[in-house]
Amino acid sequence: MSEQIAVPKSVLGKCPSCGAESLQYDDMELDSECLYYPCSCKCGWSGLEWHSITFIEYTSDDNSNPFDPISRIDKLAMPEITGHLADEDVRAGDVVQITDREHPWFPALMYVDEVKPWGIQACVLMPEGNAKGSHCSRAFNRLDWGKFERVGRAIIIEEGDAS
């Protein structure tokens, strides 16, 4: 392989010569502790796009995806849940976390809307945009006692209340 010269202004996915995002890539190749993609641009530039290789973790043959933390949540160290809180310990406005590993929203954090005899009705706020004053919709879910833990009280800081 010929000696390579580093090209200034290297930005991933952009041609270092003309700045276009029209690089054409060949198959990835390995070189000791790095990998690279031979690539070229319509402007006539050609070269190699280099990437470092970093150790992430070991996995087993249980078909889990090492890059999806939700698929591996059972392997994470989580405290043992010893019991549920009494009705008087949880109130509207509290933040709870779903602890039921079978629940489809596990391990989501939720905002308590109502306390019921069977558990709580809680919601997740889902903003419709990033603009100030944009509307938030709420996705509700019912959680039975013993299927969540209280995290704390939600504190809403009004504009100008910064302390």
Which band of pLDDT confidence, cut at 50, 70 and 90, is reported for residue 148?
A: very high
Cβ atoms of 147 and 100 closer than 8 Å: yes
Task: Based on the fold, state whether residues 91 and 145 are members of the same structural domain.
Answer: yes
Residue range(s) defining the domain that contains residue 23: 8-55
Residue 62 in domain: no
What are 156's two structure tokens?
């809403």
> What's the CATH number where 146 sits?
2.30.30.50
Q: What is the pLDDT of residue 93?
A: 87
Q: What is the pLDDT of residue 135?
A: 67
Task: Determine the Cα angle at 79 with ends 74 and 153, to 5°.
Answer: 110
Q: What is the mean pLDDT of residues 69-84?
A: 50
> How many angstroms separate the CA atoms of 65 and 23, rounded?
29
More confident residue, 13 or 140: 140
Q: What is the pLDDT of residue 143?
A: 92
